[in-house]
Amino acid sequence: MWQKIVSYLSAFALAVVLSACAAPGPPPGDMQIRSGVIEQITTVQLASNHHAGVGAVVGGLAGLGIGSLIGAGTGRDVAMVLGTVGGALAGNEIQKQHDQPVPGQQIIVRASNGVLVSITQPLNPNLFRGQRVYIEGNGEGARVVSR
């Protein structure tokens, strides 16, 4: 019994210590806006924004539907399984052929506090070196926009 109480108290103490170490940040949904000057722009290729696996799922469903129209009984079940697997493979290959890289740019901005910030985003031809810009958001959703 004492071991259980000590275990719970240890877990509670650990939770209190860890939560005290957490740095406060902006509440979810709030957007940070910082300003700065573009130091460098490099052209890059971004991965396509299509969702991976959608072709396989759609192909598998189509194959299942077609397989269900063939035969009866056990033969029909086999046709449905083979149609699902074949459709998934075909759909995945078709999606791979149509996913092309998207032109983008890696932008290095010297923020007003002196910190260098690197952001990779889709191509924006209106941005240039030395331009004063805003950095909207943070993390994966951060974007550089002109002032």
| Angstrom distance (rounded) from CA 86 to CA 91 | 8
| Angstrom distance (rounded) from CA 19 to CA 112 | 31
The per-residue pLDDT of the chain, averaged, comes to 79
User: Can you give the pTM of this predicted structure?
Assistant: 0.51
Instruction: Assess whether 71 and 137 both reside in one domain.
Output: no
CATH number assigned to the domain comprising residue 135? 2.40.50
pLDDT digits (tens, 9 = 90+) for 133-147: 999 888 888 889 988
Please tell me which residue, 122 or 140, carries the higher pLDDT value. 122
CA neighbor of 116 nearest in space, from 42, 33, 39: 39
Instruction: Assess whether 111 and 142 both reside in one domain.
Output: yes
Q: Residue 128 has what pLDDT?
A: 93
Its domain, for residue 139, covers 25-47+102-146
Instruction: Assess whether 41 and 107 both reside in one domain.
Output: yes
- Phi and psi at 2, nearest 5°, equal -65, -35
Quick check: is 5 in a domain?
no
Q: Residue 101 has what pLDDT?
A: 79
pLDDT digits (tens, 9 = 90+) for 38-48: 999 998 988 76
Instruction: Assess whether 123 and 141 both reside in one domain.
Output: yes
Quick check: is 62 in a domain?
yes
Quick check: is 115 in a domain?
yes
Instruction: Assess whether 43 and 108 both reside in one domain.
Output: yes
Instruction: Assess whether 40 and 69 both reside in one domain.
Output: no
pLDDT digits (tens, 9 = 90+) for 49-87: 556 677 778 887 887 888 888 878 888 888 888 888 888
| Angstrom distance (rounded) from CA 38 to CA 106 | 11
Instruction: Assess whether 108 and 132 both reside in one domain.
Output: yes
**CA atoms 104, 105, 106, 109: torsion sign:** negative
Quick check: is 19 in a domain?
no
